[in-house]
Amino acid sequence: MYSRIKSRSLCLLLCGAAIMAAFATTGCQMSVGGQTLPSAYYLQDDIQYFPKGPEFKLSREAAALKQAAARQDAN
């Protein structure tokens, strides 16, 4: 009976060590103290580039509102 308990605890210990090793070797992004830390594979990630856009994001809407106001004043 003692060997059965011993083998079960050894099995649980080995499984726990295997799970800890799997978590330690996988790269994942995590947040620590408010800062986002990169994954272990950040050097192989593809770079995303977002070109600079207009400062005022609603330029078409503003032009449409001016045009509607001009039509309103013309009537």
pLDDT digits (tens, 9 = 90+) for 32-70: 787 777 776 777 777 788 888 778 889 899 999 999 999
Alpha-carbon gap, residue 62 to 54, rounded angstroms: 13
* The pLDDT of residue 28 is above 70: no
**Residue whose entry in the numeric block shows the structure tokens 């192989």:** 44
Whether the pTM exceeds 0.75: the reply is: no
Q: pLDDT at position 75, please? A: 78
Please provide the DSSP assignment of the chain as one string: -HHHHHHHHHHHHHHHHHHHHHHHHS---EEETTEEEPPTTTTTSPPP------SSTTHHHHHHHHHHHHHHHH-
> 3-state DSSP call for residue 66?
helix
Q: pLDDT at position 38, please? A: 75
Average pLDDT (4-23) is: 84
